[in-house]
Amino acid sequence: MTLINSARLHLPDFAPGSVWLVGAGPGDPGLLSALALHALDHADSVIYDALVDRRILDLARPGATLEYAGKRGGRPSPSQPDISARLIRLARDGHRVLRLKGGDPCVFGRGGEEALALAAARVPFRIVPGITAGIGGLAYAGIPVTHRDIASAVTFVTGHERGGAVPEGVDWRAIALGSPVIVLYMALSHLDHIAARLIAAGRSPSEPVAIISKATTAAQSVVVASLEDAAARAAAARIEAPTIIVIGEVVRLRATLNWLTAGETEASG
Ligand code: SAH
């Protein structure tokens, strides 16, 4: 039995020899798009990343081959050129290749790099957007990404660059001054450093921050703190990766809008 009725939804054919770069969303299978379900129904090969939820992989067509392309048990992950070469190989062998990534494939997900490699190899591909952690994770924490009057701009920024350092290419001062809401990906280990830079550039030390761990999964947890103590509070709570971090006055709305765990008491605020 298939997951969805693709004819009623007028979905395109997943042609043999093509690659679909699909966002699986942050975790909750309910956040998959119709195109993602259609791809899971028809893929011959599924090449997935570390952040793709197990419950989503379980939706793949029973005959599909699942291949993991990420870090595991401390072993180095396959290099990006290796992954792209693998996608091209499978497509040339006539497979319907589903490249499944957490969140959105093109938000800090290297979807663009893989698409460029496919384009260069003249392998037909499609990009299926997914719900990125910086939007879906906030929604599941009861935090609107933007809000009229208090937040008319938002910046998605990575807290981690290729080598693992705080990204020097990021103009933290400009972000501090120009973006009322800042959503940080891959930033937990550099949060103290990033917060100090934002405060030095004029953000209030008491501005609220939410650190959302394992967003949209059954293990989601949220720590709310202030900019100056967020890193220490996250460490004290032993919060686990992956985490999405949001800085801004919108975080205060969680007190009223936390629909997911409404009624539960929260040790950390
Ligand atoms: N393409 C993904 C992001 C990949 S970068 C997306 O659009 O969401 C990996 C980072 O994404 C993690 O370090 C974390 O900051 C964030 N992330 C992804 N899934 C998450 C989840 N379920 N909960 C919290 N953060 C998540």
Return the pLDDT at 151.
83
Whole-model pTM: value is: 0.94
Residue to probe by mutation, ligand 1, list 108, 145, 212, 240, most atoms within 8 Å of CB:
108
* 71 belongs to the catalytic site: yes
> Would residue 101 show up in a list of annotated catalytic residues for this protein?
no
**What does the pLDDT read at residue 59?**
98
Q: Given this model, what pLDDT does residue 269 score? A: 43
Q: What is the DSSP letter of 128?
A: E
Regions in the chain scoring below 70 on pLDDT: 71-75, 162-164, 265-269
Determine contact, residues 98/47, Cβ cutoff 8 Å.
Answer: yes
On whether the CB atoms of residues 97 and 18 are closer than 8 A, the answer is yes
CA dihedral sign, ordered 60, 66, 72, 78:
negative
∠ CA 95-99-101 to the nearest 5 degrees? 165
Give, for 157, the enclosing helix (H) or strand (E). strand 154-158
Q: What pLDDT score was predicted for residue 71? A: 65
Pairwise CA distance, residues 191 & 232, whole Å: 9
Q: Are strands 125-128 and 19-23 parallel, antiparallel or unpaired?
A: parallel
Q: Which amino acid is at 117?
A: A
The rounded Å distance from CA 101 to ligand 1 centre is 10
Marked catalytic residue, from 13, 71, 82, 171: 71
Q: Strands, DSSP E only, in 1-55?
A: 19-23, 45-48
CA–CA dist 254, 147 (Å, integer): 12
Q: Cα(89)–Cα(169) distance, rounded to whole angstroms?
A: 34
pLDDT of residue 74: 61
Cα–Cα dist 231/211, whole Å? 9
* 8-state DSSP, 167: P
CA distances from 139 to 87, 208, 218, 232 (A): 33, 16, 15, 24
pLDDT at position 153: 94
CA of 174 to the centre of ligand 1 (A): 24
2: phi then psi, degrees, rounded to nearest 5 = -85, 165
pLDDT at residue 268, as a whole number: 47
Note the pLDDT of residue 118.
98
Q: How many other C-beta atoms can be found within 10 angstroms of the C-beta atom of residue 68? A: 15
**What is the Cα–Cα distance from 197 to 265, expressed in whole angstroms?**
32
Q: What is the H or E stretch that residue 66 is in?
A: strand 65-68
Sheet of 208-213, strands arranged across: 154-158, 181-185, 243-247, 208-213, 221-226
Query: Which pLDDT score is estimated for 262?
Result: 80
Contact present, 87 and 47 (Cβ < 8 Å): yes
Distance 92 CA to ligand 1 centre (A): 31
Q: Which of 41, 44, 49, 104 is catalytic?
A: 49
Q: Is 51 in the pocket of ligand 1 (CB under 6 A)?
A: yes
